[in-house]
Structure 1
Amino acid sequence: MTKTGPYIQIKFKIMLLKKIQLKTIDYRLILTICFLLFFSSIISAQEVIKDVVAEKPADKASINKQKVDGIIATVGDYIVLDSDIDKGYLEITSQGGSVKDISRCQMLGKLLEDKLYAHQAIQDSIIVSDAEVKSMMDERLAYMMRQTGGDINKIVEFYKKSSVEEFKTYFADILKEQKLSSEMQKKIVDAVEITPEEVRNFFKKIPKDELPTFGAEMEVAQIVVEPKVSDADKQKVKDRLNSIKKDVLEGSSFATKAVLYSQDPGSSPAGGYYKMTRKTPFVKEFKDVAFSLAEGEISDPFETQYGYHIIMVDKIKGQEVELRHILISPTVSETALKDAKERITNIRNKIVNKEISFADAARNESDQKETRANGGTLVNPNTQDTRFELTKMDAALYSQVSNLKDDEVSQPILDTDDKGKKTYKLITVTNRIDEHVADYAKDYTKIKELALKEKQINAIAKWFDSKIKDTYIKIIGEYRDCTFTNNWLKK
């Protein structure tokens, strides 16, 4: 019998977390892997297939080099085919992963998890709209087309489909199932909260000689000066967006326009698509416009800190809005850049000459709202605290601060963000923390994160134990000889 293995079963994830708590410093990466590894599941129709996993150790389910595909498991309304396991291996290897330590029983265990998530999502009335599936389809197809030189027929051939339409229908079902699965996981995890007392008890349980070691860190502050955009340049952008709006009203596709012209990298590949509620962390100006529109309505151009937008609302479902938007930022002139550099140079001179502290200069002079109030201190987007671990710091930020001495202020840095927006900034290191053994007071945020992850993993394990008992599950043939961590066989 083959035991389900370390990469994909819930109880091992708990054991892995406990191991992470001991000596490693790369805990976030491994925890992320625990939740996300092998997330994609691939379904296949009945077909004769060849065993594609040449580097897999043999087990009872992989003895034959060629076999007739068929149903090997049922979870609620979903089935698992023998070919799903091989397609799962292909999915991992196509993304650069190794499958040599993953048995067919392990892969089946993960597929069963995905099916149960999706099945229960339907029972819990979690809705995945056709618009969401279409957006995901457009994004995935665009990626695959880039990989195949723009030839969709190669994609159709790879998935053994007879036509583009058959492939799209098949692939839409896969994407919908994946989305249902992820939404169900999110629902479970989001319901888990942790108290300071639970964090304290979690930390106390770790033996002193097994406390985790955290790498060297630093805290960083910055002052940002934005070049002033002329009224004429702003009007050019508004005129361009009004022209796009006119084209859409006359029959053009808003989604296509977003792909072609939007400068928002987070949504343009998906045709500008976002799904949001009033609690979604978008800037106020964007939400105000989004929730003022009716279905099918397109806004006039409006401004946020990122540039100018137009929004078209696709659907309104209660408190949730599905929309598409196009972002275009005005071009900054060379004169405006020169003026911004002169301004930030003057700010630096005042700091260096001790006329003002860096923190006060940030509060009074910085154009960045997010950091201005707290003296320019940056917040780590991955941890939501003010510390940046050197080994995990963004490469661009690291290059800007790595050679700075204590209290040294950088020369003006011309920075271009992922939307093409140019600013000048000054950076300084406000605090350095050497590599150290975990300390409850100093490292509370990290310890809380670990404790919460453990509680979330335990919640998922309990969820599986409960739902498996209440769901029709059947495993067929030699796969019944697998030893699963979850009680799929209901023994």
Structure 2
Amino acid sequence: MKKLFLSFFSAALMLSATQAQTIDKIAAKVGSGIILQSDIELQYAQYIISGQPPSPSAKCQLLQMQLTQKLLAQQAVIDSVQVKDEEVDADVERRMRTFIARAGGQEKLEQFLGRSVIQYKDEIRPDIKESLIAQRMRGKITENVNTTPQDVRNYFQSISKDSIPTYNKEVEIGEIVFQPKLSKEEKAFYREKAEELRQRVKKGEDFGALARLYSQDPGSAPEGGDLGFFDRQQMVKEFTANAFKLKAGEISPVFESDFGFHFLQVIERRGEQVHARHILIAPVITEASLDRTKKTADSVYRALTTAPKFDFSSAALFYSDDKETKYNGGMMLNADNVQTRTTLIPTDKLDPQVALVVDTMKVGHLAKPILYTDQQTGKKTYRILYLKSVNDAHKANLEQDFARLKEKAMDMKLTKTVSDWFDKRRKETFIEIDPEYRDCEVLKNWITPKVTAQATPAQ
């Protein structure tokens, strides 16, 4: 499957590179700016690479996006809206990290592109800069938009009775997660195992062969431990600290990360990127460590149920090993709506192990520590669950769902504000679109009508 994806990725990017060289007609004119057909083709290739199905209408939508970007960018010049070079550089680097990861390394990406990553960065930088400026201009257009309680009521009253949404049963759940930890003596076994392999490499045995046989990193072991090129942001801090202080050919000491015990060898350095390979020895959690973890969890549970001043939020901050929830009072976030950071989670979206326990709980109560097994990794943890609230399935109403309705009312105001702005700007700006796109439904309102001068008949 991976080979199929990489072949498709290669074909798409090589196609876009060829098209960029051969297609240079103007797809659209927007005021003083132009949009080239090659720009659309390149974006379409990236659209396909992202996993979207081929679609003729996609090019229509991509051109519409380019048109909106041009209008916003041209207004940004008038309003002196700018972005810093550092912001552009950061976004370029973020996108390149994604492309490199999808291609399977920098070298493979450069083969696919037919040019160096540095050249490609230079090519995409102007468009990314314009895109960031357009985003900032859009923010300026909507910066003074706000929503009052009356706006929310008006929005709710505008919804026909048949269209009022129904919300499933939702719960707010807190958790304190206890991860089993090995003792120094237990860890020593795995550190020594990694050190033995390191010494075998230093004595001349083939690094790649040993990685294939012994490394417990499923992603890199089949490749002889090869990780390809990576930068400082792509790896855990312990890995980065070792990789970026070694020269090509050098081997690191054994070091520990959240994944286990590693050692690595740097193959090549390219500026702020390193090509390295590694061997990982992942410790196995013992029954003794699970028993120790259960005792800790039981102790915290007793304190929460007997000590009046020991509240759940404080206990989560102090004891929980889950970095995502411990700083949020222990409350789980709705994974399908992370942007709003809502803690209301539909019961049908809960992990089955959690749902089974929560189903028997009363609001405001704690459940005794449960042994939880992650279905993807197989890792075991103990968890104390707290049921903060329950919202039964219901039709939307202002009393229970004001926050959600306010969000929708705000979205509607923002959309209208931006839409009104574009309607006005389109009428004030000369826009010409190539005949190839004249049948695009989404572009019908973008073409400036041509005015034909006619003689006035004599009266």
Shorter-chain-normalised TM-score: which range?
Answer: 0.5 to 0.7
Q: Any gaps of 5 or more consecutive residues in structure 1?
A: 1-41, 49-67, 229-254, 272-332, 417-421
1:20-169 pair list within 5 angstroms: 47-48=21-22, 68-100=23-55, 102=57, 104-152=59-107, 154-155=109-110, 157-158=112-113, 164-169=117-122
Q: Larger C-alpha radius of gyration, 1 or 2?
A: 2
1:428-439 aligned at under 5 Å gives the runs 428-439=386-397
Length, aligned pairs only: 331
The answer on whether the counterparts of 1:221 and 1:376 sit within 8 Å (CA) in structure 2 is yes
Indicate if the aligned counterparts of 2:303 and 2:310 stay in contact, CA closer than 8 A.
no
* Structure 2 residue corresponding to 1:442, chosen from 385, 388, 400: 400
What's 1:473 paired with? 431
Give the TM-score normalised by structure 1. Answer: 0.55
- Aligned AA (2:405): I
Secondary structure of 2:387's counterpart equals strand
Please tell me whether the aligned partners of residues 60 and 443 of structure 2 are also in contact (alpha carbons under 8 angstroms): no
Between 1 and 2, higher relative CO (CA 8 Å, sep ≥ 6) is seen in 1
Q: Is the 8 A contact 2:44 2:59 kept in 1?
A: no
Q: Matched residues in 1 for 2:65 and 2:302: separation?
A: 59
**Residue 103 (structure 2) pairs with residue 182 (structure 1):** no
Shift of 1:204: 0.7
Identity across the alignment (%): 28
Q: 1:185 to 1:336 in 2, by over 3 A?
A: farther
CA distance in 1, matches of 2:123, 2:106: 18
After superposition, residues 115-264 of structure 1 pair within 5 angstroms as 115-152=70-107, 154-155=109-110, 157-158=112-113, 164-223=117-176, 257=232, 259=234, 262=237
Whether contact under 8 Å (1:148, 1:154) holds in the other structure is yes
Any residues of structure 2 matched to 1:284-295 within 5 Å, and which? none
Contact 1:385 1:445 in 2 (8 A): no
The structure that is helix-richer by fraction is 2
CA distance in 1, matches of 2:444, 2:311: 57
Distance 1:226 1:129 in 2: 43
> 2: distance between equivalents of 1:141 and 1:104?
23
Residues 259, 107 of structure 1: CA spacing in aligned structure 2 closer, same or farther, 3 A cutoff? closer
SS at match of 2:389: strand
Tell me by how many angstroms 1:199 deviates.
0.3
Q: Is the 8 A contact 1:44 1:83 kept in 2?
A: no
Q: Tell me which of 328, 344, 357 is aligned to 1:403.
A: 357
The C-alpha deviation readout for 1:302-352, integer Å capped at 9, x for no partner, is xxxxxxxxxxxxxxxxxxxxxxxxxxxxxxx9999987753431232356x
Structure 2 unaligned spans of 5+: 1-15, 182-229, 245-284, 375-379, 450-459
* CA displacement at 1:212 relative to structure 2: 0.8
Opposite residue 43 of structure 2, the aligned amino acid is G
* 1:477–1:377 Cα change, 3 Å: closer
Q: Give the secondary-structure state (helix, strand or coil) at the position aligned to 1:144.
A: helix
Q: For the structure 1 residues 74 and 485, does the alpha-carbon distance in structure 2 shift closer, same or farther, using more than 3 Å as the test? A: closer
1:430, CA displacement in angstroms? 3.3
CA drift at 1:185: 3.1
Q: Distance in 2 between matches of 1:157 and 1:72?
A: 26
Q: Distance in 2 between matches of 1:165 and 1:377?
A: 44
